[in-house]
Copies of this chain bind each other. A is one copy, B any other.
Amino acid sequence: MHYRAETWAMLQRVRERSPLVQSITNYVSMDVTANALLAIGAAPAMVHAVEEVEEFVGIAHALVVNIGTLSPPWVDAMRLAADRAGSLGKPWVLDPVGAGATRYRTETARELAERRPTVIRGNASEILALAGAAQATRGVDSAHASKDAVESARGLARQLGCVVAVTGAVDYVTDGARTLSVANGDPMMTRVTAIGCSATALVGAFLAVGDDALFATTAALAALGVAGEIAARESPGPGTFRWRLLDALYQLDEGAIAGVRIAQQVSFNV
């Protein structure tokens, strides 16, 4: 598979079709996430009331469920939306923000994961917590390197029949059988909020235009990583960086996508 050509083809499809991505996400990153979707060429819709969430899934092309600032009424909406996406066969992505940090987060994340998302994207600590292998998570940051969670991610993917992405300095994406890695990005991406949430949202946009969930997820993460590298080169600090990142997503062209570093991982001792 020609990963760069395929990533570029997929990005072009997002821009042509402008998929409507419904997000039930957190208060902190809602604004940036919606703007990341717009910048890549998708259409965001932040819709979370139980009174309308199922009806909206009917017109959306993908659903994103992010528990960053969860509370019971929002979790109710997440359940309803996830179930509707499942019954309509629409792709949906779970972002188990802070799983492992509190019992409420861990339990909510697990319960949502059991509803069989198309993709789960988290950092190493979150994926370890979901897989039941976690030590304490430190807030929303990962206390582990992404590599440490690859085996757990594989098990989780096999168990749930979904794709699991562990993001970090290197991202790993697995469906339990195959595993791809993405070696793009910049440390500045850890110095601003909403990068993980935007990654999850972009995965939703790419799922809406691609049949291969493993590769759609990988391509979305690679596109964001390349944009992050471009933005970091032009930024004196994190304030400038987070907006340059939107510029970079908007401007991504074939030349930039040539910088994508996707590789297949052999299955032993990743």
Binding site for B on A (CB under 8 A): 20, 22, 26-32, 34-35, 38-39, 43-49, 51-52, 55-56, 59-60, 68-73, 98, 101-105, 136, 138-141, 191-194, 235-240, 242-251
Give complex CA distance A103, B43 in Å.
Answer: 20
Residues of B within 8 A of A27 (CB): 27, 30, 46
How many copies of this chain does the complex contain? 3
Give complex CA distance A49, B73 in Å.
Answer: 11
Closest chain B residue to A252, Cβ basis: B237
Residues of B within 8 A of A48 (CB): 69, 71
Contacting pair A68 B46 (CB below 8 A):
yes
Contacting pair B136 A59 (CB below 8 A):
yes
Residue from B103, B194, B236, B246 in contact with A239 in the complex, judged by beta carbons closer than 8 Å: B246
Contacting pair A139 B193 (CB below 8 A):
no
5 interchain pairs, CB-CB under 8 A: A20-B139, A27-B27, A38-B192, A47-B101, A239-B248
Residues of B within 8 A of A103 (CB): 52, 55
Closest chain B residue to A231, Cβ basis: B239
Closest chain B residue to A236, Cβ basis: B247
Contacting pair B242 A247 (CB below 8 A):
no
Least distance between A37 CB and chain B CB atoms (Å): 9
Residues of B within 8 A of A28 (CB): 30-31, 34, 46
Residues of B within 8 A of A52 (CB): 101-105
Give complex CA distance A192, B36 in Å.
Answer: 9
Residue from B31, B98, B235 in contact with A193 in the complex, judged by beta carbons closer than 8 Å: B31
Contacting pair B46 A69 (CB below 8 A):
yes
Give complex CA distance A44, B28 in Å.
Answer: 11
Q: A98-B45, A102-B56, A141-B43 are in contact. Are A239 and B35 (CB under 8 A)?
A: yes
Contacting pair A71 B49 (CB below 8 A):
yes
Contacting pair A238 B247 (CB below 8 A):
yes
Give complex CA distance A51, B39 in Å.
Answer: 35
Q: A51-B72, A51-B104, A247-B240 are in contact. Are A26 and B46 (CB under 8 A)?
A: yes
Give complex CA distance A59, B45 in Å.
Answer: 33
Residues of B within 8 A of A70 (CB): 49
